[in-house]
Structure 1
Amino acid sequence: MNVDLLRVFLSRRGVLTAGAAGTLLATLPAPGHAAAPDDVPFDYADPANLRDWAPSRYGPHDQRGTLNEVTPAKTARVLRQTLDPNRPVRTYNLGALMWNGFPAIQPYPPERRHELRLLLGGYPAPAGFGGHVAFTDPFGANKLSVHEERFAGSTTFQIGSQLDGLNHVGAAEFFYNGLRGPDIARDHGTAKLGAEHVGPIVTRGVLLDIVGVKVATGQHDDLGAPASGGGPVLKENYRVTVEDIKQAMEFGRIDRIDPGDAVLLRTGWNQLLARRDPGDIARWGGSGGVPGIYLREARFLAKFRPVLIGSDTWTLEVMGNPVNNDGSVIPVHQELLMRHGIRIAESYALDQLAADGVHEFVFIVTPQYVEGATCGNTPPAALGQP
């Protein structure tokens, strides 16, 4: 989730026009929809409420949140219990393929994008080459040549398949564990809560195939138009409910969610990136909304203390659905990151897991080891047995 969205959302009540393509994001609900008690956002920005959520359950100096639940004993148990040593293991790439021009919401300068330029050395560049040439004569008696990447424009880890850090979203100056932005903000990133405190994660993964349940049970009213490749997707601004989550657990024969698990919700949304179709990409960016969970569902899942909650959308939480009328902006991010120390995963590719019927697996990710970073977009992996 791009932090620039927050400023734009707060300044515009209703529909946001973003990006060169004029993407529309219906961000706030229509008036007249009363919020259920478990959908009321908490006021984290009020210092008087600080004692209600900080210090965290992991102590006043903690910077890792529910990563503390992924102990060496848990990892060993997951490896022992999840994989049958007598059966083949398939490794799944859960990352979305990045390409030059990969879509990202562009509501506020400086823009963000994924764009690489090749740097070459050791031979003459081909005709029309638009990258960088370091040298044309190869090095040494062995005639060494080289290729490297160079980033163009404004770079960020907040793009593609990503894992949000606890320093990503706050409420005014407050962030996880009561830390204050003015105290931790530095030129390079943040002095606390940065990506250097994450480390490799190897734990139990759980797939909640929400769109798969809808297809299997004939709940077609909850589906939108298929992706251009024909794959089913939840309709724009569909709210994934607690009841949906329970149905997906039953569908996948998941009898429990344990502390430290990685919980991933499939909406089918990632299929909108598969063919790079302009219409699909506009939908993926939120032209009519984005399916996802809201506060009731976030609070339900948070009780299990998972290490992360993620989905195949770029936001995890529902966008454009009239769930309340108080003007709150991405409160699920605040609820999970600030109160519970639960990281948020976005734009994960979950279709192959679903196609193989793998709903429980070993989840692996090693986010960038970058001091002060708010996110890591290293593609995660899963070890499963179809």
Structure 2
Amino acid sequence: MFNTAVLERVLIASLVVSLVGGAAFAQEVGKSPWGPKDEIGRLNLITPESRAAILSRIEGSKSYDLAVEYFIGMPSWEAAGDPPYQMWMTHTPNGTLVSDPMKVGKEMNAHVSYTGSAVSMYAHMGTHIDALNHFGLNSKIWNGYAAADHLGDQGWTITGAEKLPPIVARGVMIDVAAAKGMQMLPDNYRITRKDLEDALKSQGVTLAEGDVALIRTGRMQNYEDKSAYMSNPPGLSIDAAKFLVEDGGAMVVGADNLSFEAFPAETENNYIPVHTYLLAQQGAPIIELINLEKLSKDRVYEFAFVGASLKFRGADAAPIRPVAFPLR
């Protein structure tokens, strides 16, 4: 059931003002109903009772890994100059025979094979979760925290990825592509509120407060082809995002693409309005590049969602390894 009092406070605090046609859109960040020190937004909806309730319903015979693989040449957001994924070997069995980095001698190196590697990556790569400091408005982020006060040379002192708790909640996949009889939504398709309503109806599933709502566009089928995956992806509209949070009560929103929202933006004064609406105004973290293909194939629409992100201190995002467990 909805906690209407909390939901109403979130909506009032968020100061959302949107007009069809891209006129005025919300210009202020949301203030948390969970207090002036809140750093996790709608993740406060996770309680001991909510965790226990969903875990008690796990069927147990099957699980679905919703994460993608990381590899050189993988899809990544490079339009703003961010680096691609790189991996290199720091130690190899043959290399240690030559360089003897541990000074143990050739005979020992021939006996003990040593392999080591390193990676370099943008935080928003692969299956990841956006922290609430990823996008803001007017130099402030969720709950009114100002960059001038809380952003240092080593990241944010508040709302960093390390603050995100493990997510254990009811998950709902909304298979928009399948509901439209498509393998994949067309390029630049903007998902509407009606698209989500129709998909939920066809699946026989409703949203509830505290859900992790995951949108399938079908774009994940192109994941191995960087150009095809990144080129003109479909994504959410503002109205669809509002439906998920304000009407559906979603705690976290995710999708199988990287841009998450459709471009070009619907608003003239905000080039990325869905991100700022969810993160800065509603305090709802975003999960991107989540692999929903196996759930779609098996028509699993409701499940226990369990996922924990890496604790990148002060970061605006971190990789997450989500798992879905079908329910009894």
Aligned twin of 1:98: 70
The within-5 A match list for 1:177-256 is 177-215=143-181, 232-255=183-206
Deviation at 1:76, TM superposition (A): 0.6
**Among 217, 229, 238, which residue is 1:284 paired with?**
229
In structure 1, the partner of 2:8 is none
**Counterparts in 2 of 1:372 and 1:354: CA distance versus 1, 3 Å:** same
Question: Pick from 307, 310, 314: which aligns with 1:365?
Answer: 307
Give the counterpart of 2:50 among 35, 59, 74.
Answer: 74
Q: Paired residue for 2:91?
A: 120
Q: CA RMSD in A?
A: 2.8
Distance 1:301 1:378 in 2: 21
Map of 2:7 onto structure 1: none
CA change 1:39–1:364 in 2 (3 A) is farther
* Deviation for aligned residue 1:356: 0.5
Which residue does 1:317 correspond to in 2? 261
CA distance in 2, matches of 1:293, 1:103: 19
Post-superposition offset of 1:199: 2.1
Q: 1:119 to 1:75 in 2, by over 3 A?
A: same
* Separation in 1, partners of 2:146, 2:173: 35
Candidates 51, 60, 72, aligned match of 2:36: 60
The one-letter amino acid paired with 1:380 is: P
Gap regions ≥5 residues in structure 1: 1-33, 45-49, 127-131, 216-222, 224-231
DSSP 3-state at the match of 1:124: helix
Give the Cα–Cα distance (whole angstroms) in 1 for the partners of residues 100 and 271 of structure 2.
Answer: 45
For residues 233 and 171 of structure 2, the distance between their equivalents in structure 1, rounded to whole angstroms, comes to 23
Mapped partners of 1:329, 1:320: distance in 2: 8
1:89 aligned to 2:32? Answer: no
**Relative to 1, partners in 2 of residues 1:328 and 1:316: Cα closer, same or farther, differing over 3 Å?**
same
Spell out, residue by residue over 1:116-140, the C-alpha distance to the aligned partner (whole angstroms, 9 max, x if none): 112225x3239xxxxx984584796
Paired position in structure 1 for 2:113: 145
In 2, distance between residues paired with 1:292 and 1:133?
51
Residue equivalent to 2:218? 268
C-alpha distance 360-40 of structure 1, shift in aligned 2 (>3 A): farther
Q: Percent identical across equivalent pairs?
A: 26
Q: CA deviation at 1:146?
A: 2.7
Whole-angstrom distance in 1 between the partners of 2:107 and 2:53:
51
Q: Secondary structure at the match of 2:222?
A: helix
**Distance of aligned partners of 1:59 and 1:271 in 2 relative to their CA distance in 1, 3 Å threshold:** same
Give secondary structure in 2 for the equivalent of 1:90: coil
The SS at the match of 2:184 is coil
Aligned mate of 2:20, from 15, 36, 45:
36
**TM-score where L is the length of structure 2:** 0.86
Aligned partners of 2:217, 2:155: CA distance in 1, in Å? Answer: 32
Say if 1:371 and 1:357 are closer, same or farther in 2 by CA, change over 3 A.
Answer: same
TM-score (normalizing by structure 1) = 0.73
Matched residues in 2 for 1:138 and 1:206: separation?
56
How many residues are treated as equivalent by the alignment?
309
Letter in 1 for 2:84: R
Q: Offset at 1:67?
A: 0.7
1:290 shift after superposition: 2.0
2:321 is aligned to 379
Contact 2:24 2:269 in 1 (8 A): no
**Distance in 1 separating the partners of 2:202 and 2:24:** 30
Q: What SS does the corresponding residue of 1:157 show, helix, strand or coil?
A: coil
Structure 1 position 214, deviation (Å):
0.7
1:305 aligns with 2:249: yes
Instruction: Give 1:285's aligned amino acid.
Output: M
Deviation at 1:66, TM superposition (A): 0.7
> 2-side partners of 1:282 and 1:346: how far apart?
17
| Cα deviation code 1:232-273 (max 9, x no counterpart) | 210011111111111111122213x22221000000011111
CA contact (8 A) 1:317 1:332 kept: yes
Unmatched 5+ stretches in structure 2:
1-17
